[in-house]
């Protein structure tokens, strides 16, 4: 079933419209530059049946990605299969890169209904990670085509208020990982300040919206760097 969305409402709203129409047990979300490797769905479902001994605890099964040349996208998993979640994977195990897999449709539908419109889809994955574990395998299941031309661009800064809200929600909801990955969270505060400047929010207002005292301090320490970041945006024509 093809559901045209006009005008373009972005990736998250497109996923929301599609997933809410799904009736199967699992959903695999693919973008325009994605391709499944042969046997990917069978591999993932077999891994689920083998490893997910308590299915209610897990959100789904994921595997690794390669680009069109066969080069792995990201760092390797420390073990396979690996039982973890998106937050531990990023902030504790420090695994970076592309992963893809099947997710339980019921979980996706519930979380998408509760996700505010305009929010970046990354917030969806991290909210699921706070409630469920996932099964990850080192087997390759998806090809990520880096050479595909896209009509969307990351160069221009659009909707700074929405982008600001995404960084704020991430910091406030996952502040318990600050000590595990301080550099990442310091960068979040700098990006938050950057989008706050474009959204014309006062420094005091943006500061008070941060709940964790340590991140409030990081925000204040990042402020002297903000003019340089804004200058780079101008030079690179992001605004």
The contacts of residue 40 (CB under 8 Å, 6+ apart) are 63, 141, 142
CB contact at 8 A, 125 and 59: no
Per-residue pLDDT, 25: 94
- Residue 199 CA to residue 164 CA, distance in Å, equals 8
Tokens 């990917």 belong to which residue? 40
Per-residue pLDDT, 196: 96
Per-residue pLDDT, 157: 78
* Token representation of residue 106: 């019921």
What pTM does this model have? Answer: 0.84
* Token representation of residue 99: 């992963």
- Residue 169 CA to residue 209 CA, distance in Å, equals 10
Per-residue pLDDT, 153: 43
The ranges of the chain with pLDDT < 50 are: 151-153
Per-residue pLDDT, 156: 73
Per-residue pLDDT, 128: 94
- Residue 41 CA to residue 177 CA, distance in Å, equals 33
């Amino acid at each position: 079933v093809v559901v045209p969305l006009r005008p373009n409402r972005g990736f998250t709203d497109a996923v929301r419209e599609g997933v809410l129409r799904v009736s199967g047990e699992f959903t695999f979300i693919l973008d325009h530059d994605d391709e499944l490797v042969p046997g990917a769905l069978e591999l993932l479902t077999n891994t689920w049946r083998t490893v997910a001994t308590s299915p209610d605890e897990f959100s789904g099964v994921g595997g690794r990605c390669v680009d069109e040349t066969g080069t792995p996208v990201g760092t390797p998993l420390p073990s396979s299969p690996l039982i973890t979640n998106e937050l531990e994977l990023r902030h504790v195990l420090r695994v970076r890169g592309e992963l893809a897999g099947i997710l339980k449709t019921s979980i996706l539908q519930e979380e998408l209904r509760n996700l505010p419109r305009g929010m970046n889809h990354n917030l969806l994955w991290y909210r699921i990670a706070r409630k469920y574990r996932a099964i990850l395998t080192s087997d390759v299941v998806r090809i990520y085509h880096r050479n595909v031309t896209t009509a969307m661009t990351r160069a221009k800064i659009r909707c700074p208020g929405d982008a600001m809200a995404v960084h704020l929600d991430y910091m406030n909801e996952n502040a318990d990982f600050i000590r595990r990955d301080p550099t990442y969270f310091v960068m979040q505060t700098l990006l938050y300040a950057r989008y706050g400047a474009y959204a014309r929010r006062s420094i005091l207002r943006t500061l008070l919206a941060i709940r964790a005292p340590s991140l409030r301090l990081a925000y204040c320490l990042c402020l002297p760097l903000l003019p340089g970041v804004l200058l780079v945006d101008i030079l690179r024509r992001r605004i």
